Amino acid sequence: MDKQSNNSMRTAIAALLVAVGGSAATFAALADDATKGRSPSDKAAEQDIARRAVTQGKILPLAEILERLKDQLAGRVIETELENEGGRYLYEIKVITAAGVVMEIEVDATTATILKSKKKK
C-alpha cells in the first residue's frame, strides 16, 4: 500500500470511529495498529459490519468499550478486531503492558463485559 493510500485509510478509520462514538485524537494512534496484517478488503468489510452493528444498536462503539475498560486494560491497545461468534459480537483487544507482556482480551461488544483474558505467547 502506498503512503497516500495508507494515510487515506488512517483518515477513514479515524472518521469512522468518530462517527460511531469515538474521538479522532483517541483513535488516530490506534488506526495503524488496529489494521496491521489485514487486507484492505478485510478492513473495509469489518468497518462496514461494525458501523451497521453500532447504528442498529447491536453493539457499543469501540470508543465506548475502550473508555469503560480503560482502567482494566492496564496497557496500550495495539490491535482490535470485531468478531461474530455464533451471532454474538465480540471485540478482541490486544494490549501491551508496561512490562512488555501482550494480553488478548475478549470483550462482549454489547455489554462491554470482559469475557476472558490471556497472555499471548
Of 79, 99, 66, residue with least CA distance to 31: 79
Q: What is the pTM of this model?
A: 0.65
Give the tens place of pLDDT for each residue, 38-80.
Answer: 677 777 887 888 899 999 999 999 999 999 999 998 899 999 9
One CATH from 3.10.450.40, 3.90.1530.10, 3.30.428.10, 3.20.20.70 for 3-119: 3.10.450.40
CA distance 9 to 112: 26
Q: Tell me what pLDDT residue 74 has.
A: 84
Percent share of the chain, pLDDT over 70: 69
CA distance 12 to 115: 30
Of 44, 46, 40, 39, residue with least CA distance to 62: 46
Q: What is the residue extent of each domain of the chain?
A: 3-119
